[in-house]
Amino acid sequence: MYTKYKQLIVALMVVVMMLAGTACGSQKEAGTNQETEIQPVFVETVEAAQADISDVSTVNGKVAANVEVSVVPKMAGKVAEVNFDVGDRVHKGDVLVRLETTELQAQLKQAEAMLKSAQAGYQDAQKNLARMEQLYQEGAISLQQLEQAQTMLVTGNPDSAAASVELIKAQLANAVITAPVDGIISSREIEAGEIAAQMPVMTIVDIDTVIVNTNVTEAVVNKLKVGRTVDVTVSAVQDKPFKGEITAISPAANAQSSAFPIKIEIANPDHKLKPGMFAQVKLALATKKDVVVIPKEALIDSGDKKTVFKVENDRAVLQEVATGMADETRLEITKGLQPGEKVVVKGQHKLQDQTPVLENGR
């Protein structure tokens, strides 16, 4: 009896141990499966595109008026009237400023009277000389008397008096200060009653067209041509670029900066662009048509080779590529990708070849 009971106990223990071993084996197997399973990586992708790309050089510049003229009086004098103010549009010939001319008018009257008297005296001297020449031929007067008549004619010449009249008239004309060009008054430095010296009293600008002045390096200058269209962004006005045209390229570098000055002309009919505003100019140095392009951030450049991660069947595929031209945001791919293939632009540094991925948060 005791022996049978002992055998039963042993059998039960064996069964329990077998069951425990099976459970442990299942747990170990499950743990191994969990350890070997690779979790997918979340990535963002874009498709390689077929598009045009340009080699772009970006430089900074400043807006200037197409024409800027300082109005300087030709004579000093007291200001009688000022007819225009800052912001007013003027046309060539408009009277901007008048100077006091009371004294000049009086001088003109006196000079004209002297001229009239000189002309009358000159006519008398001419008649007297003709009479004296006749008398001299008749022997009625001496040579000395004839020479005196000739001298009186010379000294009585009214040309000097006439010149004085013309000089005063010119001064009167200079007292009327007119606009030398069409444009807008950008500054006014004088008021009625003040004394105008021979210094700028107004500045006139033409901003129907504006100029952007900038500089380029020696590596860029020979890639530019007069007449080429460029994009100019003036962020103070709008984010959308303005279209400008290169109108001048200096053949010599600036002595201080060693850069080459260039001028870009922009139509400005609504006068949004103001002289002094800062501008950013994008100069397209060369363009390729219909090439494969990807965002710059997709490229992994390890020095000896360049790669990207493509996505195929929800897995990352490491792909070696060759690059060509680049602009500010994109790269040309000359080898290794086709248009439409998906490349990883975010999360690629967490990947290895054949890593499972979830695209764009899916």
Q: pLDDT value at position 156?
A: 66
Length of the chain equals 362
pLDDT class of 26 with cuts at 50, 70, 90: very low
Q: For 298, phi and psi rounded to 5 degrees?
A: -75, -20
pLDDT class of 38 with cuts at 50, 70, 90: confident
Per the CB < 8 A criterion, the answer to whether 183 and 74 are in contact is no
DSSP calls for 85-102: -TT-EE-TT-EEEEE--H
Q: What is the mean pLDDT of residues 108-133?
A: 83
Find the DSSP H helices in 283-348.
none
Strand order in the sheet with 176-178: 176-178, 95-99, 77-82, 195-196
Distances (CA, A) of 124 to 111, 142, 144, 266, 279: 20, 20, 19, 68, 74
Q: pLDDT value at position 303?
A: 81
Q: pLDDT for 187-201, tens place per residue?
A: 999 999 999 988 999
Question: When comparing pLDDT for 18 and 131, which is higher?
Answer: 131
The rounded distance, in Å, linking the Cα atoms of 293 and 24 is: 55
Q: What is the mean pLDDT of residues 160-167?
A: 89
Taking 3-state DSSP, the helix, strand and coil percentages for the chain, each rounded to the nearest 5, stand at: 30, 40, 30
Give exposure, 69-108, as e/b (b: 16+ Cβ within 10 Å): bebebebebebbebebeeeeebeeeeebbbbbbeebeebb
- Dihedral in degrees, nearest 10, Cα atoms 26, 31, 32, 34: 130
Q: pLDDT value at position 130?
A: 86
Q: Are strands 176-178 and 183-188 parallel, antiparallel or unpaired?
A: unpaired
| Residue owning tokens 């400023």 | 97
Q: pLDDT value at position 18?
A: 55
Q: Which residues contact 114 (CB under 8 A, 6 or more apart)?
A: 161, 164
pLDDT class of 30 with cuts at 50, 70, 90: very low
Per the CB < 8 A criterion, the answer to whether 69 and 188 are in contact is no
The rounded distance, in Å, linking the Cα atoms of 29 and 13 is: 24
Joined together, the tokens standing for residue 184 give 């807008």
Q: pLDDT value at position 11?
A: 54
Distances (CA, A) of 271 to 207, 210, 213, 256: 6, 9, 18, 33
Q: pLDDT value at position 187?
A: 96
Please provide the average confidence, as pLDDT, over all residues in the chain: 88
pLDDT class of 115 with cuts at 50, 70, 90: confident
Q: pLDDT value at position 97?
A: 97
- Dihedral in degrees, nearest 10, Cα atoms 280, 285, 288, 291: -50
What three-state secondary structure class fits 304? Answer: coil
Write down all domains in the chain, each with its CATH number in brackets. Answer: 42-54+288-359 (2.40.420.20), 58-65+203-287 (2.40.30.170), 73-99+176-199 (2.40.50.100), 102-172 (1.10.287.470)
Residue 34: pLDDT over 60? no
Q: What is the mean pLDDT of residues 210-227?
A: 96
The model's pTM: 0.66
* Range with the poorest average pLDDT among 27-41, 230-244, 324-338: 27-41
Residue 154: pLDDT over 80? no
Per the CB < 8 A criterion, the answer to whether 211 and 222 are in contact is no
Q: For 203, phi and psi rounded to 5 degrees?
A: -125, 135
Per the CB < 8 A criterion, the answer to whether 264 and 212 are in contact is yes
